[in-house]
Amino acid sequence: MDRPIGVFDSGIGGLTVVKELFRLLPHENIVYFGDTARVPYGVKSKDTIIKFSLENTLFLLQKNVKVIVVACNTSSSLALPVIRQHFKIPIIGVILPGAKEAVYATKNGRVGVIGTRATINSGAYEREIKRLDNKIKVFSQACPMFVPIVEENWVNDEIALHVAHKYLASLKEKDIDTLILGCTHYPLLKSKIQAVLGPGVRLIDSAQQVAQEVRQVLIQEGLLNKNRKKRSTREYFVSDEVAIFANVASRFLGEKLKDVKRAAAYV
């Protein structure tokens, strides 16, 4: 089935998932929506996040997608159950795949989670980790400044390292050996986060696990694209300035984005 996979995020961070989808499912068509006009989601109320997430889902459904990836930890934490109630299409979040990988990875049973305020306040990662293994100790830290740093493309600036030191100092004291990057923007700051925490802490970026889950769902539902002769298509939509997104996204994905369009965040 050559209908596309739909992916949405509050901004550019969801491209970490898209990159893994390219690698694992090279024949699949993809439509990406980044709600750049309303980023960041993590400082907004639950009702607002649910509203935005439903609107993003409706936008992707207009593109005739066959599955939707909620590549935003904040939306996955607070809006995923509501989205699934409203729509019958397979909808995949990012919380459970990341929690599973962290439980598998930790050796000392001490796991850190960083995310937006909304994600951390929701307790979504802690609930999933405890459900999988209630002996694991979970330590959480909101890092609200990380998203604008990524969106402004300041990842290689001294400010990124300074802010990382500020946020991660308390987690370093907790002797964690595993850290969940609980926002799809955060992998772009991986080198700074690793520099602060040291090589002994494993960073969990759930993008790989999410891509694997998408593949499993496509196989189970008989939705894999079997048309291997036609080149896969990649469409990108944003709700704000196209040029800024295209510039940063091209550097991140390692290819020039030819088809970025501005679209309303809602229908």
Q: Looking at 67, 92, 181, 183, which residue is catalytic?
A: 183
Please indicate whether residue 183 is annotated as part of the active site: yes
Q: How far apart are the first and last CA of the chain?
A: 26
Q: Looking at 25, 72, 124, 196, which residue is catalytic?
A: 72
How far, CA to CA in Å, does 170 sit from each of 64, 140, 164, 167? 45, 9, 11, 7
The enclosing H or E element of 245 equals: helix 242-253
Q: What are phi and psi of 262, to 5 degrees?
A: -90, 135
Q: What sign does the CA torsion over 106, 112, 114, 120 have?
A: positive
- The candidate with the shortest Cα–Cα distance to 214, out of 26, 52, 36, is 26
Please indicate whether residue 72 is annotated as part of the active site: yes
Quick check: bond before 40 cis, omega within 30? yes
Which residues are the active-site residues? Answer: 72, 183
